[in-house]
Amino acid sequence: MMGRNELSERLVIANEEKARLEAELILANIELDFQNEEKKKRAAELNLANIELEFQNREKLNRARELIIANRELDFQNEEKGKRAAELIIAGKELLFQNEEKEKRAAELLLANTELVFQNAEKEKRAAELIIANKELLYQNGEKEKRAAELIIANLELIFQNEEKEKRANELIIANKELTYQNGEKEKRAAELIIALKELGYQDEEKAKRAAELIIANRELLIQQQEKTRRAAAEAKKDEFFNMVSHEFKTPLTNIKAINQLLEKTTDRANKHYPFILNAGHSIKRLEKLIADLLDVTKINSGQIDLNIAAFYFPDALTNSIANIQLTANNHEIMLENSADILYAGDQFRIEQVLINLLTNAIKYSPEAGKVLVKAKIESGDLVVTVQDFGIGIAKHEIDQLFQRFYRVSETAMLFQGVGLGLFIASEIVKKHNGRFTITSEPGEGSSFSFTLPLPA
Ligand code: ADP
């Protein structure tokens, strides 16, 4: 157990320790205070330094801005200098060129100078000679003065004469002006005449050309005329020949026909020769038709085809022709779609001839078809008759030529019998009745042959 003394001692020590610690604390506090003061000072200094730096920065910024502006100014000045330098280079070149020119000019001037120096020397020589000549002249002048006195007298005389001449000259000038004016007029007239002459010359040339052309054209016409006359004569001969031959054929053919008809009647149909007799009968008919056509052609050509005009019932012509052809047309049916029930004044025989020709063709040129259509109607005061088939048709470019004598479409000419006279004769008959033909056709589909006959109003 610790005694009171010991405790007090310890307390004293603790107190002393405490006092020492407190002293140290105070010291430390002082020290801290001092440090704080120092820090505050330092902070104030730093603040100042900061302000100073900010100020400097601003200054720098200002300076930088100024520098940028100065820089731009410099750039601009540099550009201007560049331009000026380019201009100076050009001006330099110009000066160089001018200098060269000047040098050339100087060289020329030098030459000219030398020339002048030489000329001056020459002139000096000449001056010396002139001085001598002058003296001579002075002497001569003395002489001349004498002569002048004489001349003055002569001159007075001449002045008088001149005055007289001037008067005359004035008169002449007036006369001259008159003449000049007249000449001007004459020149104008002459120029006009020259132009007119040229025009005439040109017209003459044109006329000559035209005349030459006319002569050539004339010759051409003459040749054509001669050719036509020659052809017409040849045609007439041919027609005459056809006419004669056709007539010559007619009599024996009539005999043959009679014999053939007799044979046909007297031969039994079962007889093996009967088909030959029939065949011969067909050939005789063809020959008869050919002869009749040839005779018609020669009649048409010599203008001798006369019509027997009489009024007839038009449907009769239609039915007669159809019946005639239907007899031998075994594979086709000819259908009368429309018949114009009128009396028509024309040549019935010839109209039937036209119809028979159209029907024969319609059947001949439609071997694959089974029918042929016929119609007759009245349209705008005309009688229009149409025969339509469904056969081989005709190409467009051939249609206009079908009515020429002996014309046959070349592609089909070899395939079908015929001589190319039927349509020629038909069209002439229709023309004689003041009518006309129209054809519409489509190759491979068929054709429509129509003729129009005018009816009396
Ligand atoms: P042909 O029949 O004797 O040759 P045409 O004068 O009657 O003479 O006819 C002239 C030509 O017109 C014929 O060769 C034929 O080529 C053509 N032709 C006439 N009719 C028809 C038709 N219906 N279809 C096609 N072609 C035709």
Cβ neighbours of residue 350 closer than 8 Å, sequence gap 6 or more: 307, 429, 432, 433
Pairing of strands 333-338, 371-379: parallel
Contact 446 CB / ligand 1 (< 6 Å): no
Alpha carbons 341 and 378: distance in angstroms, whole number? 9
The values of phi and psi at residue 386, to 5°, are: -125, 135
The dihedral over CA atoms of 233, 236, 237, 239, expressed in degrees to the nearest 10, equals: 160
Query: Burial, 447: exposed, middle or buried (Cβ in 10 Å; 0-12, 13-18, 19+)?
Result: buried
What is residue 370's three-state secondary structure? coil
Cβ neighbours of residue 260 closer than 8 Å, sequence gap 6 or more: 277, 280, 281, 284
Contact 332 CB / ligand 1 (< 6 Å): no
φ/ψ region of 440 (left if φ > 0, alpha if ψ in -120 to 50, else beta) reads beta
The amino acid that residue 33 corresponds to is D
Q: 450 forms bridges with which residues in the sheet?
A: 386, 438
DSSP one-letter string for 18-32:
HHHHHHHHHHHHHHH
Contact 338, 383 (CB under 8 A): no
Contact 277, 263 (CB under 8 A): yes
Cα 294 to averaged position of ligand 1 atoms, centre (Å): 16
Give the per-residue pLDDT at 2: 59
Cα 250 to averaged position of ligand 1 atoms, centre (Å): 25
| Tokens standing for residue 91 | 């001006």
The amino acid that residue 92 corresponds to is G
Contact 365 CB / ligand 1 (< 6 Å): yes
DSSP 267: S
- Digitized pLDDT (tens) for each residue of the chain, 457 residues in all: 557 788 888 888 888 888 888 888 899 889 988 998 999 998 888 889 888 988 998 898 888 889 888 888 988 988 898 898 888 888 878 988 888 888 888 788 888 877 888 888 888 888 788 778 778 878 887 787 888 678 778 778 878 887 888 888 788 888 889 988 998 899 999 899 999 999 999 999 999 999 999 999 999 999 999 999 999 888 888 888 888 888 888 889 999 999 999 999 999 999 999 999 999 998 999 899 899 998 888 888 877 788 999 999 999 999 999 999 999 899 999 999 999 999 999 999 999 999 999 999 999 999 999 999 999 999 999 999 999 999 999 999 999 999 998 899 887 778 888 889 999 999 999 999 999 999 999 999 999 999 999 999 8
Contact 361 CB / ligand 1 (< 6 Å): yes
Contact 338 CB / ligand 1 (< 6 Å): no
Q: Cα angle at 298 between 295 and 300, to 5 degrees?
A: 110
The residue extents of the domains of the chain are 2-234, 307-454
Cα 368 to averaged position of ligand 1 atoms, centre (Å): 16
DSSP one-letter string for 105-163:
HHHHHHHHHHHHHHHHHHHHHHHHHHHHHHHHHHHHHHHHHHHHHHHHHHHHHHHHHHH
Cβ neighbours of residue 20 closer than 8 Å, sequence gap 6 or more: none
| Residue position matching structure tokens 């330094």 | 49
Alpha carbons 450 and 384: distance in angstroms, whole number? 7
Cβ neighbours of residue 452 closer than 8 Å, sequence gap 6 or more: 379, 382, 383, 384, 385, 435, 436, 437, 438
Closest by CA position to 354, among listed 282, 296, 311, 413? 296
Cα 320 to averaged position of ligand 1 atoms, centre (Å): 22
Contact 408 CB / ligand 1 (< 6 Å): yes
What is residue 311's three-state secondary structure? strand
Task: Please provide the distance, in angstroms rounded to a whole number, between the alpha carbons at the two ends of the chain.
Answer: 182
Fold of 307-454: Heat Shock Protein 90 (3.30.565)
Cα 418 to averaged position of ligand 1 atoms, centre (Å): 8
Give the per-residue pLDDT at 257: 95
Pairing of strands 446-454, 436-442: antiparallel
pTM confidence score: 0.54
